[in-house]
Amino acid sequence: MLISGRQAVEVLAGAGVTRRQARAALAARLAGEPVVTRGARLYREEAVIELASRPPLSESDVDHACPGPLFVARRLLDAGAGREEQLAALAPGWDLGVRGTNNLLQAFLYVQGSIPLVATVCGFVVLGAQIQRLRGEVGGRTYRMELGDAGEWFAAFRGRRLLCGPGRDFVFRGW
C-alpha cells in the first residue's frame, strides 16, 4: 500500500525521529524511491515501517563491533545511489581542523593502516567503509578521504540506527 509523505513522516516520528529528520531521510531515499504524482510523493508503507523499526545500536554494541576508533559521517547521502557514487560523495570536503581531529586521524592511520567509517543519514546507517588515507584539499582547511571496503565489523551496523545527537557532520569515537 502507498502512503503520503505526510503519513510517512508521522510513522517515522512515532519511532522517535524528528519531523525534520524524517523528511530528510525520505528525501535521501532511505524508504526507497517515492512515487511522484502531481500533488504528492507516495511511499511504500512496508518500506517506511521497516525504516522506522530499525533498532538503535547501544554504546556497548558499537564498542564490541569497533573497539578502537570509529569515524561516524553524518551527511545527507542518496541511499538509492550505487556504492561508488556514495563513496565519491562522501570522500571530499571534511573540515577536520577542529580540536586537531585531522592530526588524530593521521596518527591512527599511521598506526592502524585504516579507520572504520559508518555513514549515517539522520541516524540511519547507510554505508560502511574504511578510511585508508587522508589528503588535504586546495586551501588547506578541508580534507579528502580515500575510502575502501568496510571490514566484517560492518555487519553489526547494517540495517540499524546509530544515534549521536546534534552536532557537526562527523563524530570521531574511541580516542
Q: What's the CA gap between 162 and 115, in Å, rounded?
A: 17
Alpha-carbon torsion 132, 66, 98, 22, what sign? positive
- pLDDT score for 105: 92
Strand partners, 42: 4, 35
- pLDDT score for 49: 98
- The residue with greater pLDDT, 161 or 165, is 161
Q: For residue 79, how many other CB atoms are within 10 A of its CB?
A: 20
Q: What's the CA gap between 151 and 161, in Å, rounded?
A: 18
Residue range 86-96: mean pLDDT, rounded:
95
Domain ranges of the chain: 2-52, 59-173
Q: Which of 61, 67, 117 shows the shortest CA–CA distance to 87?
A: 117
- pLDDT score for 98: 65
pLDDT band at 91 (very low <50, low <70, confident <90, very high): very high
* Amino acid letter, 26: L
pLDDT band at 165 (very low <50, low <70, confident <90, very high): confident
Give 3-state DSSP helix, strand, coil % of the chain, rounded to 5: 35, 30, 35
